[in-house]
Amino acid sequence: MRIDTENVVEQFVGFDPATLYEAAGRQGMVDPAIRPAWPGARICGVAFTVECPPADNLMLHHAVAAAKPGVIIVATLGGYLNTGAWGEILTVAAQAKGVAGLAVDGAVRDTKAIAERQFPIFSRGLAIGSCTKERFGTLGCPIQFGGVAVYTGDIVVGDEDGIVVIAQSRAEQVLEAATKRSLREAEIIEGLNQGKSTIELLGLPPLSTPGAAGK
């Protein structure tokens, strides 16, 4: 199934990453070390993958130039964390193209200016070091991102709790499961407000004998 970026935002934006991860059968969780670069950042959209050589961000400039509106640029930098591969200049360029956000397995900088511009970024770290712009990598090819295989066209959703990647081919299935899960959670919350316990509502094993909890 192929869905455009507008449909992705409309359909997935109402779900948090944890719900989508559970709905996907506990698949697609990105390494929790990749965090929002500023408080409140959230991403939701279709991935556009980029692979850069370590300490070189030439391909990020090419990615922004080639990006379609609404995409999330998902990039790797060979595990190198001592240079800020993205800053205010690339942010302004990305916003001018309608890019919806960045998720990078690497470091970024200029986070105060980026936060003021409200451009959502998730990164593994922060670094003031500067990148070269000399070596080519790849655009639109499968990458390993925080332990998850990501393809251009996959759905990426992230908030302060983390990032989940949903394979494009499973989008409809995951949406259906996420909707059911959200309805079930609402029922549980209603039951808790009525005085029931999580043991009852979740069908958890009861304590069989006094003191069993300490065994």
Quick: pLDDT tens for 122-165: 999 999 999 999 999 999 999 999 999 999 999 999 999 999 99
Residue 98 and residue 69 in contact, taking contact as beta carbons nearer than 8 Å: yes
pLDDT over 70 percentage in the chain: 93
- Mean pLDDT of the 167-182 span: 92
Q: Which of 93, 105, 106 is nearest to 67 (CA)?
A: 93
How would residue 182 be classed by pLDDT, with cut points 50, 70 and 90?
confident
Residue 59 and residue 131 in contact, taking contact as beta carbons nearer than 8 Å: no
pLDDT in the model for residue 1: 39
pLDDT over 90 percentage in the chain: 80
Nearest-angstrom CA–CA distance, 97 and 204: 50
How many angstroms separate the most distant Cα atoms in the chain?
A: 69
Which amino acid makes up residue 150? V
Nearest-angstrom CA–CA distance, 116 and 113: 5
Q: What is the DSSP letter of 127?
A: -
Burial of 100 (0-12, 13-18, 19+ CB in 10 A): buried
How would residue 11 be classed by pLDDT, with cut points 50, 70 and 90?
confident
CA atoms within 13 A on the CB side of 14: 10
Which amino acid makes up residue 202? L
Rounded to the nearest integer, the mean pLDDT of the chain is 92
Residue spans of alpha helices (H) in 17-147: 17-23, 58-66, 88-97, 111-116
CB atoms within 10 A of CB 165: 27
Q: Which of 51, 46, 78 is nearest to 62 (CA)?
A: 51
pLDDT in the model for residue 185: 85
The residues spanned by each domain of the chain are 5-174
The residue among 188 and 31 whose pLDDT is bigger is 31
pLDDT in the model for residue 24: 96
pLDDT in the model for residue 88: 98
- Mean pLDDT of the 39-43 span: 96
Q: What is 5-174's CATH topology?
A: Glucose Oxidase; domain 1 (3.50.30)
